[in-house]
Structure 1
Amino acid sequence: MTVIGHAEGSATHSVTIDGVAYPAEEIAQGAAFEVYATTPAPGFLPNPRPGARWPYRRFIHATEVASALDGLEDEPLLMPVTRALDWTAIHKLSQTPSAAASVAPIRRTAVVRRGTRMIKFLTGTQLAGYLRGWPISGFCYRAFDVAHLRTPADLAILSGEPAAEVVFAVRWRAVDAYDYDVPLGDSYGGLVSMPPHDRLGPPVIGTGFAPSGRHIVPEFVTADLAELPVPANTSLVAYTADGTEVTLYTYLPEQRAWSRMHGPQWRHLLPDASDQEYFPVAPPLSRYIGKYRDNMFEAIVDPPGEFRVAAKTRAARYPLEALARRVPRATWREARCTVVRQEGDWLRLRLSRPDGDQVARLGAHCVERGVYEAWAPASEVTDAHESDHWYTL
């Protein structure tokens, strides 16, 4: 496929597919295209938008458009294509746990760097949790890799909501590659072998790719499944049935609050039909800290290049000389955990490497795909401490 020139009307490009030129619009910061057609064609579906100029459309990734590869924000997956190994064969291997070693060289080409756009898909209940102050954690993806998945039907493989009319997501920029792991069988084997009655959502394959019948999507988890504080300019978004992306809220770190960005026409998308403009949240236990002139401060991060002292007045937002992520950790009944909440003499613990034995022994519950938590008496917890990881700025 190639992009040639510009098309007339609201479409700004012309994309050539199988020798036929179609009008198209660039979406997702150039990582994908919405392609239009006046007559049915392979891969095209009816355009659900009322009054649409073109009755058929499809979404394609920028990697399917040869001339669109220059200037992309992230690198696509790379693989040696041979007569015996094409994308169909790679997809089959990505869905086969025993083939993890075979696809590892390809999986390693999907990397997270400082400033990489990341995304995690949410249910309506999880969206409400983020508005109440949940940090980022668990399974997530590079936004680049899923830019062509725009409708709830396409996103069902990642959201775990096959019949949803709208899919929600939290989107942010990565602070550092250290904060993310690849869920491989040799490091997260407990998740791969977790019995169906102890898990939520799709299974974890262990190859580093999401389970899918058609797409090849590299997936990540937050390191040790721990919580990440929310960076500045993080967004809560919605994807509607017609492929429209709606920015619902943006995070304001100085105010520790989510600010409404959507208009009243999108109010119906929210699970509780809330029209609240401002959602203040309490600080999580995991947080960013930094040094300025040998003093320690709470930090605000705005990747890729802005890391400063947390202050409401602009004059006091000094640039940091060093930055770290502080995570409370503990051990309970020989299981490594992170602490996500404290209430009185009880701690809410999240398993860092969950497996079936730990889940049964600790009475942990799966709160979302791959994330297992349990309440523990503080008196039984050992090695409770705060762990600081200092980034290279």
Structure 2
Amino acid sequence: MTVIGHAEGSATHSVTIDGVAYPAEEIAQGAAYEVYATQPAPGFLPNPRPGAKWPYRRFVHATEVTSALDGLEDEPLLMPVTRALDWATVHRLSQTPAAAGALAPIRRTAVVRRGTRMIKFLSGRQLHGYLKGWPISGFCYRAFDVAHLRTPEDLAILTGEHNTADVVFAVRWRAVDAHDYDVPLAGAYAGLVTMPPHDRLGPPVIGTGFAPSGKHIVPEFVTADLAELPLPANTSLVAYTRDGTEVTLYTYLPEQRAWSRMHGPQWRHLLPDQSDQEYFPIEPGLTRYVGTYRDNLFEAIVDPPGEFRVAAKTRAARYPLDSLARRVPRATWREARCTVIRQEGDWLRLRLSRPDGDQVARLGAHCVERGLYEAWAPATEVSDAHESDSWYTI
């Protein structure tokens, strides 16, 4: 990669693809490049910018640009150098359940740290749910690993939508701690791997820790125990359009417990209900961040990687916390471990922590999205109901 100068709105780098040099710009905090061309070529899309100097563009991951690996925010996947193990072989193994053990050294190099940018892709219905207060949960990815997947067609491998839509939505946030995430391997999450097709939604869970894909190698994660994560500060809801444009729709304001609109009226058509609402207040969830300040317990606001404070609307009362935890309501129902995600009267909405075909049939649980199985239970039948605090090191 060669730097070729900088000007506002112009390319700042040159990258080589299949022996051809193209002008390019860094995107996604340097995790990918937007590459430009004057003529159509494989993988290139029309450039949507009015009066663009280059009429075509495509997106490539930074790992495809050899000299771009220094200074990246996250580490790429690393694999041992052998004569028998090339990229095509690793991809084939990533789609083979029995190969989980052989891939483990490679999979462990996809690391989540405090402050790692994470992303979960959403349908229009799920976007509406997040605006109404849904917490983060289920399958997700490091934003670094999917930075080059920018169009609904490319993202179909992660959304499970075979008929690609005009837009794909996502929620993006920074991780508070690696312990909030699991790798969906065939051991701990064997029930998801063996789940009958009629009992699941979305792509199957392979069990290697990688997403099912015909050509990409994408490490996937799940929230630990499939439980909910409260929204950190500056979480955003974004949209990816058919031409690869990324639009920030809303940003989460934790002090106000609300989503604030960031997009202009030209993007209103992207929203499922074409809503032009400026502000979406949400109710607090059962799972929440708590922390101590001078031996007193308070509700907490987290803004990874380094800001953890008492939840308060006035700046003077936003004291830095001495300790921080994620408080999760848990319970057992008919010998199945669950987290409690909602309570209505004498009924509890439970989510299975380790779902399998037997539990789903026995409890009458329904798959609400890939990997997440929920059921209503009478509170009188639930045992061991308690709030569990997972303490972080801050």
TM-score range, shorter chain: over 0.9
Name the structure 1 match of 2:169.
Answer: 168
Name the structure 1 match of 2:233.
Answer: 232
Name the structure 1 match of 2:367.
Answer: 366
CA distance in 2, matches of 1:231, 1:248: 17
Per-residue displacement from partner, 1:358-391 (whole Å, max 9, x unpaired)? 0000000000000000000000000000000110
- Counterpart secondary structure, 1:315: helix
Name the structure 2 match of 1:392.
Answer: 393
The answer to whether the Cα contact below 8 Å between 2:325 and 2:389 also exists between their aligned partners in 1 is yes
Per-residue displacement from partner, 1:44-103 (whole Å, max 9, x unpaired)? 345465654323322110011122111110000000132311100000000000000111
Name the structure 1 match of 2:5.
Answer: 6
Aligned positions of 1:117-266 closer than 5 A: 117-162=117-162, 163-266=164-267
- Counterpart secondary structure, 2:102: helix
The answer to whether the Cα contact below 8 Å between 2:32 and 2:147 also exists between their aligned partners in 1 is yes
Q: In the alignment, residue 365 of structure 1 is paired with which amino acid?
A: H
Name the structure 2 match of 1:272.
Answer: 273
- Counterpart secondary structure, 2:186: coil
Name the structure 1 match of 2:66.
Answer: 66
CA distance in 2, matches of 1:196, 1:354: 14
- Counterpart secondary structure, 1:268: helix
Q: In the alignment, residue 55 of structure 1 is paired with which amino acid?
A: P
CA distance in 2, matches of 1:290, 1:52: 50
Name the structure 1 match of 2:33.
Answer: 33
Q: How much has 1:179 moved relative to structure 2?
A: 0.2
CA distance in 1, matches of 2:48, 2:249: 22
Q: In the alignment, residue 226 of structure 2 is paired with which amino acid?
A: L
Identity between Structure 1 and Structure 2 (%): 86
Q: How much has 1:164 moved relative to structure 2?
A: 1.2
**Which deviates further from its counterpart, 374-383 or 55-64?**
55-64
CA distance in 2, matches of 1:298, 1:7: 46
Aligned positions of 1:19-58 closer than 5 A: 19-47=19-47, 51-58=51-58
Matched, 1:287 2:288: yes
Structure 1: state its 5+ residue gaps: none
Aligned residues: 392
Matched, 1:111 2:111: yes
Q: In the alignment, residue 262 of structure 1 is paired with which amino acid?
A: H
- Counterpart secondary structure, 2:88: helix
CA distance in 2, matches of 1:367, 1:49: 38
Name the structure 1 match of 2:94.
Answer: 94
CA distance in 2, matches of 1:49, 1:155: 22
CA distance in 2, matches of 1:52, 1:192: 47
Q: In the alignment, residue 77 of structure 1 is paired with which amino acid?
A: L
CA distance in 2, matches of 1:314, 1:126: 33
The answer to whether the Cα contact below 8 Å between 1:4 and 1:16 also exists between their aligned partners in 2 is no
The answer to whether the Cα contact below 8 Å between 2:46 and 2:243 also exists between their aligned partners in 1 is no
Name the structure 2 match of 1:338.
Answer: 339
CA distance in 2, matches of 1:174, 1:216: 22
CA distance in 2, matches of 1:48, 1:100: 41
Q: How much has 1:21 moved relative to structure 2?
A: 1.6
The answer to whether the Cα contact below 8 Å between 1:7 and 1:23 also exists between their aligned partners in 2 is no
Name the structure 2 match of 1:348.
Answer: 349
Structure 2: state its 5+ residue gaps: none
The answer to whether the Cα contact below 8 Å between 1:152 and 1:164 also exists between their aligned partners in 2 is yes
With the length of structure 1 as denominator, give the TM-score of the two structures.
Answer: 0.97
The answer to whether the Cα contact below 8 Å between 1:122 and 1:169 also exists between their aligned partners in 2 is yes
The answer to whether the Cα contact below 8 Å between 1:330 and 1:339 also exists between their aligned partners in 2 is yes
Name the structure 2 match of 1:17.
Answer: 17
CA distance in 2, matches of 1:345, 1:53: 63
CA distance in 2, matches of 1:216, 1:49: 30
Q: In the alignment, residue 256 of structure 2 is paired with which amino acid?
A: Q
Q: In the alignment, residue 57 of structure 1 is paired with which amino acid?
A: R
Q: In the alignment, residue 101 of structure 1 is paired with which amino acid?
A: G
CA distance in 1, matches of 2:198, 2:78: 36
Name the structure 1 match of 2:322.
Answer: 321
Q: In the alignment, residue 391 of structure 2 is paired with which amino acid?
A: W
- Counterpart secondary structure, 2:237: strand
CA distance in 1, matches of 2:126, 2:75: 30
- Counterpart secondary structure, 1:169: strand
Q: In the alignment, residue 103 of structure 1 is paired with which amino acid?
A: L
CA distance in 2, matches of 1:3, 1:132: 46
CA distance in 1, matches of 2:205, 2:50: 39
- Counterpart secondary structure, 1:386: strand
CA distance in 2, matches of 1:119, 1:20: 32
Per-residue displacement from partner, 1:8-51 (whole Å, max 9, x unpaired)? 77222111223322111111111000111223444434546565
Q: In the alignment, residue 207 of structure 1 is paired with which amino acid?
A: T
Name the structure 2 match of 1:305.
Answer: 306
The verdict on how the C-alpha distance between 1:64 and 1:3 changes in structure 2, with shifts beyond 3 A counting, is farther
CA distance in 2, matches of 1:225, 1:326: 14
